Amino acid sequence: MLPPEPQTKPAPPAAWWTAVWEALTGPATAVGSGDRRRAQRLSALLLLLTPSQTVAALMAFGLAPAGRSTLAWLLAGVALLLGVAYFVSRTRFYRAAAAAAVVMVAILPGAALAAWGSADLAALTLATAAGLLGLLVASQLFGLTSLLLAAGAQLAGLAWLPALFPALAVPDLAVAAGLLAVGAGLLAVVVRYYHRLEQDQHAALAQAQRELQASQVLLDTRTRDLERRTAQLVVAADVGRTVSALLHVEPLLARVVELIRDRFGFYHVSIFLMDDSGQSLVLREATGPVGARLKADGYRLPLEARSIVGWVASTRQPRVIADVRTDPSFLSHALLPETRAEAALPLRAGERLIGVLDVQSRKPAAFAPADLDVLQILADQVGVALENGLLFARQQRLLQLEQLVLSLTTKIHQTVELEAILESAAADLGRALGAGRAVVRLQAAPTSGPDAALERDGQPQPGHNGHAAPPGDGPDALNPA
């Protein structure tokens, strides 16, 4: 009994606060995949700054003395602009929202000092802290370059403060500038580190994606090759079943070439068989109207001819021409102008060569090593089937001849007239041998000596057609014509 399959536990649902956070900070669908992380970071910063700035504005309204609510209104305006920037960040124009947020946070310290009307150490410290917050926003949204530009702008603003506040103490200004410079330097180091880390991660991710794509391409190629090989083996099995069920040679050859052409998608398929002399190959079957015309013309190839078919028959080894336009051993034919690749395989029954299977394709380099292996399996199956068909034909022929002999013997025993016996024998033998005309010649046995034989040979003997037939040179003989 097989062990139960392990059940995969479903992933736990996301916490509700995670879903809420994604709903509040998720970027717009129009934002590209490379910028979605930065757009979401901007939305998160603005989502945190807007309520904090609103609280600061409310506190400023409550704590500001009468007639000095300028700072409170400034903070309220900044809070409103940050809220607008948050909603813009949720669209495809998130870059404009990021620029507006950086500018507002950068100018906020100087504007707050101007609205407050004084620049003591406490005010400078708060302004410096707000400036560092602006630098943090700039570094997160636009990187190191924006951080350095924002830091330079804020230091320039600090340098301009003595013109607004003549009573500002220089040591206090130096402390604020030093804090701002140190903070900017630390942020620059952190931003640079994370930028390099992000670049390394992106490079590693890109490399992993390239390797994954290469693996996927290799997997797809091997899958297609496997599917093609499986389909070819199915065709080989189908051809094997077909040829094993056919005993007559002509239907077998016709079925084989059609199956190979249709299932493999080849341009032309033909089968050549050795003639009785063993010196040439005769086309016995081929596909399409071209094949029928070549068969009608009695197309044959001598073994010594410059052709791939003759070479395979001579060496009994398969051969492939990847591009017939560059191979001198290719024997072109005017009826097959689209041939670009050719493969020929020996048809064998044991150690005996029966013929050659020739396959042609419209595509150059169409025959891979795996294709050649499958085609050789097909050729071996066809060779064995052809041997069985030829043996079956011989057996059928012998059986017909035995039946003919039996029939002639029966007629001879039933007939006493020599003329009827000869006519029946000539007619039956002519039909059995497929001859258009059959003649029976009889020679009487000599009585004694050569002179008596000559005199006997000179006597005319009747033939099967009622005419005198010339005497033969030997015993009683049948000569079909």
- Contact indicator for 42, 98 with CB cutoff of 8 Å: yes
Highest mean pLDDT among 5-19, 136-150, 216-230: 216-230
Say whether both 44 and 191 belong to one domain: yes
Say whether both 319 and 457 belong to one domain: no
Q: Quick: pLDDT tens for 142-175.
A: 677 777 877 887 787 777 777 777 777 778 778 8
Q: Would you say residue 440 lies in a domain?
A: yes
Q: Would you say residue 114 lies in a domain?
A: yes
Q: Quick: pLDDT tens for 22-50.
A: 888 888 887 777 678 778 877 888 888 78
As for how many domains the chain has, the answer is: 3
At 292 the pLDDT is 92
Say whether both 314 and 451 belong to one domain: no
Highest mean pLDDT among 204-208, 443-447, 455-459: 204-208
Say whether both 332 and 260 belong to one domain: yes
Q: Residue 54 belongs to what domain range?
A: 23-210
Residue with tokens 């072109």: 332
Say whether both 448 and 363 belong to one domain: no
Q: Would you say residue 225 lies in a domain?
A: no
Say whether both 47 and 184 belong to one domain: yes
Q: Would you say residue 239 lies in a domain?
A: no
3-state secondary structure the chain: CCCCCCCCCCCCCCCHHHHHHHHHHCCCCCCCCCCHHHHHHHHHHHHHHHHHHHHHHHHHHHHCCCCCCHHHHHHHHHHHHHHHHHHHHCCCCHHHHHHHHHHHHHHHHHHHHHHHCCCCHHHHHHHHHHHHHHHHHHHHHHCHHHHHHHHHHHHHHHHHHHHHCCCCCHHHHHHHHHHHHHHHHHHHHHHHHHHHHHHHHHHHHHHHHHHHHHHHHHHHHHHHHHHHHHHHHHHHHHHHHHHHHCCCHHHHHHHHHHHHHHHHCCCEEEEEEECCCCCEEEEEEECHHHHHHHHHCCCEEECCCCCHHHHHHHHCCCEEECCCCCCCCCCCCCCCCCCCEEEEEEEEECCEEEEEEEEEECCCCCCCHHHHHHHHHHHHHHHHHHHHHHHHHHHHHHHHHHHHHHHHHHHHHHCCCHHHHHHHHHHHHHHHHCCCCEEEECCCCCCCHHHHHHHHHCCCEECCCCCEECCCCCCCEEEEC
- Contact indicator for 309, 281 with CB cutoff of 8 Å: yes
Lowest mean pLDDT among 233-237, 330-334, 341-345, 445-449: 445-449
The residue out of 379, 405, 430 marking a domain boundary is 379
Say whether both 265 and 354 belong to one domain: yes
Say whether both 250 and 200 belong to one domain: no
Q: Would you say residue 405 lies in a domain?
A: no
Say whether both 311 and 185 belong to one domain: no
Q: Would you say residue 391 lies in a domain?
A: no
Q: 302: domain CATH number?
A: 3.30.450.40
Say whether both 137 and 203 belong to one domain: yes
Q: Would you say residue 55 lies in a domain?
A: yes
The residue out of 379, 402, 427 marking a domain boundary is 379
* Average predicted confidence (pLDDT) for the chain: 77
The residue out of 379, 407, 442 marking a domain boundary is 379
| pLDDT, greater one: 459 or 72 | 72
Q: Would you say residue 372 lies in a domain?
A: yes
Say whether both 338 and 468 belong to one domain: no
Is the predicted pLDDT of residue 339 greater than 90, yes or no? yes
Say whether both 30 and 90 belong to one domain: yes
